[in-house]
Amino acid sequence: MPKLIIDGQEIEFQQGQTVIQAALKHGIDIPHFCWHPKLSVSGNCRVCLVEIEKMPKLVIACSTLASEGMIVHTQSEKTLAARNAVMEFILINHPLDCPICDEAGECKLQDYAYQHSPGESRFVEEKQHKDKRVPVGPFVMLDVERCIMCSRCIRFCDEIAKDPELTFTKRGDRVTLATYPGREMDNPYSLNTTDICPVGALTNRDFRFHARVWDMSSTKSICTGCARGCNTEVWVRNNEIMRLTPRYNEEVNSYWMCDSGRLNTWKFVNAEDRVNSPQLRRDGLLVKVGWDEAFSAAASEIKLIGKEEIAFIGSAFATNEDNYVFAKFAKSVFGSKHLDFIRYTDPSFGDDILRRNDITPNSLGAELSGVAPSKSGKNIYEIIEGIKTGKIKALFVMEDDPVAAYSELESLFSKLDLLIVHATNYNKTTQLADIVFPAATFAEKNGTMVNFKRVIQRLRPATSTIELDRSLNGMSMSRLDKFGTKFDKWAQSTKRDARPSWKILTGLAAALGTKYKYQIAEDVFEELASAVDAFRGINYDDIGEIGIKIKKEFTAVEKV
């Protein structure tokens, strides 16, 4: 491979790479504002000026192609002087409002001002004032005074979202970012512009002034809004989720995620309608009870039901671990053949960028984990028919809301002798349930899911529950590090008494005389990987932060 030298370090590069791309690949940071690895080159900001030997003047690293034998200086006296001058120009009209700017703490201009600017301004004239707090779309707010005209947002709308909505108007120091006349920035990916904006010009209207970045913890996870499974960072303060942002994974979602996933997939975790304790129906009302009492009551009621009279509905919203133990419980503990889950699709949701018509995060994982009827068992539609005819007298539902999915079930469920539900929040099905177990959400547990590309990905707990804290009590620091959990020390009052569904089923199985030896989700996955060919040989370390792809297409569901 061809080589060049950057600051005395000889590095290899691929033909067609620019200087900044070659440097970045080898961990050499060249300051930049307007350049982004997934957008076209604009060369607006000039901060990436570098000195290249035998070239008559400084060049911008973002558009200069690397060539064999090239010698590049990013820290020479001439380069640093030019970089300082560019920073001085950029800062001339920039407002000094870091203390009140939502971007403070993750602002490239703020960072570079400390690293590369002269440290004081020679500009004493009145700054050029522009519009502030301009709602350019339903989710994005614009402060034109802060804009440094890098054009990242314009290029994103043009090239990635495929919906040109933004442009520059006027010239010189009066240039202004604006939407086209009669337009607003309402494409389904608009909030990605707030991520790639290097300053505080574009901000998330849903998150503005809610928290400072240094007051939050961030946990690597995945979006549960559709079968794509975009990689995300879950940002938490005081044990409440404050926002979701995309995390880079070229195999899955690159640098992006849709607005729906960013805004609509996590607020139920903080909601007041969370199920916070096991509940039994007494005299027509759900009454809070302890876990042991709930397990005992559920076991007593289940024993009265014949195995042909009970059906189990798993969930494409639950993890592989939850679905595996659910299938194992249904088939081996209870001997039921009637097991399936509800598929949710929305033809209006999908597009050719990221969003999928399958609006569940783990439908493929649920199938591979064994949530499917036996040959003589009933599928979801036959289960509903069985309730109608009275052949199905009991139903066990895990992390789903069948009544919301099939409105006819509201009247049919009154025919059931027993309805047991695992739920994170109260819903139409819990209103009819005889026993309700509080289930941990995606943000409160470890686990895995499989996206439509057959990539297995990890969930990690970003917020804490009483049960999660209890399971971590006394665990060594090295084990805690492996556990991958970050907690807020001020969160005691907001912890919820919820458990992962696999752990609920472990307790219920014990009440029925069957002991599962799972202690943590990783124990469940190890058994799953030994029992199901699609997962064979894979462990949590293999999955890592970006996931691992199932090498072979699996269509048949292995027996649990």
* pLDDT tens profile 496-509: 899 999 999 999 99
| Alpha-carbon gap, residue 84 to 115, rounded angstroms | 9
Helix (H, G, I), strand (E, B) or coil at 83: helix
Q: CB atoms < 10 A from the CB of 329, how many?
A: 26
Residue 28 pLDDT exceeds 80: yes
Sign of CA dihedral 343, 348, 352, 355: negative
User: How far, in Å, are 20, 23, 306 from residue 29 at the CA level?
Assistant: 8, 7, 66
- Provide mean pLDDT across the span 382-397: 95
pLDDT of residue 471: 60
Q: In the chain, what is the greatest distance between 2 CA atoms, to the nearest angstrom?
A: 89
554 in a structural domain: no
Residue 477 pLDDT exceeds 80: no
Residues 150-204: tens digit of each pLDDT: 999 999 999 999 999 999 999 988 999 999 999 999 999 999 999 999 999 999 9
pLDDT band at 484, cuts 50/70/90?
Answer: very low
- Provide mean pLDDT across the span 139-159: 97
Task: Give percent of the chain above pLDDT 90.
Answer: 87
Helix (H, G, I), strand (E, B) or coil at 304: coil
Helix (H, G, I), strand (E, B) or coil at 202: strand
Task: Give percent of the chain above pLDDT 70.
Answer: 94
pLDDT of residue 486: 47
Enter the tokens of residue 34: 């307007």
Are both 242 and 283 inside the same structural domain? no
Are both 202 and 312 inside the same structural domain? no
- Provide mean pLDDT across the span 426-435: 97
- Provide mean pLDDT across the span 262-270: 97
Residue 16 pLDDT exceeds 70: yes
- What does the DSSP 8-state code read for residue 240? E
Are both 146 and 168 inside the same structural domain? yes
pLDDT of residue 119: 73
Are both 28 and 142 inside the same structural domain? no
Range list of H helices, 343-428: 363-368, 380-389, 402-405, 409-412
How much of the chain is helix, strand and coil, in % rounded to 5? 30, 20, 50
- What does the DSSP 8-state code read for residue 172? G
pLDDT of residue 120: 78
DSSP characters for 405-449? H-TTHHHHGGG-SEEEEEESB--TTGGG-SEEEEBP-GGGS-EEE
97 in a structural domain: no
Please, are residues 498 and 424 in contact by the beta-carbon 8 Å criterion? Answer: yes
Residue 556 pLDDT exceeds 80: no
Enter the tokens of residue 553: 């297409």
Sign of CA dihedral 119, 122, 127, 128: negative
pLDDT of residue 472: 55
Residue 554 pLDDT exceeds 60: no
450 in a structural domain: yes
556 in a structural domain: no
Are both 422 and 455 inside the same structural domain? yes
110 in a structural domain: no
Please, are residues 234 and 218 in contact by the beta-carbon 8 Å criterion? Answer: yes
| Alpha-carbon gap, residue 327 to 320, rounded angstroms | 10
pLDDT of residue 473: 53
Are both 290 and 427 inside the same structural domain? yes
CATH number at residue 246: 3.30.70.20
pLDDT of residue 467: 73
CATH number at residue 380: 3.40.50.740
- Of 233, 238, 222, 144, give the one whose Cα is nearest residue 195: 233
Residue 210 pLDDT exceeds 60: yes
Q: CB atoms < 10 A from the CB of 248, how many?
A: 14
Please, are residues 93 and 172 in contact by the beta-carbon 8 Å criterion? Answer: no
| Alpha-carbon gap, residue 555 to 560, rounded angstroms | 15
Q: Which residues pair with 396 in a beta bridge?
A: 312, 420
pLDDT of residue 24: 95
Residues 51-74: tens digit of each pLDDT: 999 999 999 999 999 999 999 999
Residues 227-248: tens digit of each pLDDT: 999 999 999 999 999 999 999 9
Residues 318-358: tens digit of each pLDDT: 999 999 999 999 999 988 999 999 999 999 999 999 999 99
Angle between helices 320-328 and 501-511 (to 10 degrees): 20
User: How far, in Å, are 243, 275, 288, 360 from residue 382 at the CA level?
Assistant: 40, 29, 33, 22
φ and ψ of 511, to 5 deg: -65, -25
Q: How many domains does the chain fold into?
A: 3
Pairing of strands 310-313, 339-340: parallel
Residues 6+ apart with CB under 8 A from 517: 523
User: How far, in Å, are 45, 144, 173, 174, 176 from residue 170 at the CA level?
Assistant: 18, 13, 9, 6, 6
| Alpha-carbon gap, residue 130 to 145, rounded angstroms | 5
Q: What does pLDDT average to over the chain?
A: 92
Last residue of a domain, which of 251, 270, 289?
Answer: 270
Please, are residues 152 and 197 in contact by the beta-carbon 8 Å criterion? Answer: yes
247 in a structural domain: yes
Last residue of a domain, which of 228, 243, 270?
Answer: 270
| Alpha-carbon gap, residue 308 to 334, rounded angstroms | 10
pLDDT of residue 451: 97
pLDDT of residue 168: 96
Residues 6+ apart with CB under 8 A from 103: 110, 146, 197, 199, 200, 203
pLDDT of residue 122: 86
Are both 246 and 356 inside the same structural domain? no
Helix (H, G, I), strand (E, B) or coil at 535: helix
pLDDT of residue 173: 86
| Alpha-carbon gap, residue 540 to 339, rounded angstroms | 27
Last residue of a domain, which of 39, 73, 91?
Answer: 91
pLDDT of residue 475: 47
Which domain does 74 fall in, by range? 3-91
Residues 450-464: tens digit of each pLDDT: 999 999 999 999 999
User: How far, in Å, are 86, 252, 413 from residue 256 at the CA level?
Assistant: 29, 10, 42
Please, are residues 413 and 419 in contact by the beta-carbon 8 Å criterion? Answer: yes
* Residue 2 CA to its chain's centroid (Å): 38
* Residue 494 CA to its chain's centroid (Å): 22
Q: CB atoms < 10 A from the CB of 284, how many?
A: 5
Are both 283 and 265 inside the same structural domain? no
Are both 451 and 334 inside the same structural domain? yes
Residues 95-125: tens digit of each pLDDT: 989 999 999 999 999 999 988 887 778 888 8
Are both 336 and 480 inside the same structural domain? yes
pTM above 0.85, yes or no: yes
Residue 283 pLDDT exceeds 60: yes
What do you get for the CA distance between the two ends of the chain, in Å? 50
| Alpha-carbon gap, residue 437 to 6, rounded angstroms | 60
Are both 466 and 413 inside the same structural domain? yes
User: How far, in Å, are 8, 34, 84, 248, 375 from residue 19 at the CA level?
Assistant: 14, 15, 20, 22, 60
pLDDT of residue 476: 46
109 in a structural domain: no
105 in a structural domain: no
| Alpha-carbon gap, residue 136 to 122, rounded angstroms | 33
| Alpha-carbon gap, residue 273 to 270, rounded angstroms | 9
Are both 420 and 364 inside the same structural domain? yes
CATH number at residue 50: 3.10.20.740
| Alpha-carbon gap, residue 340 to 322, rounded angstroms | 14
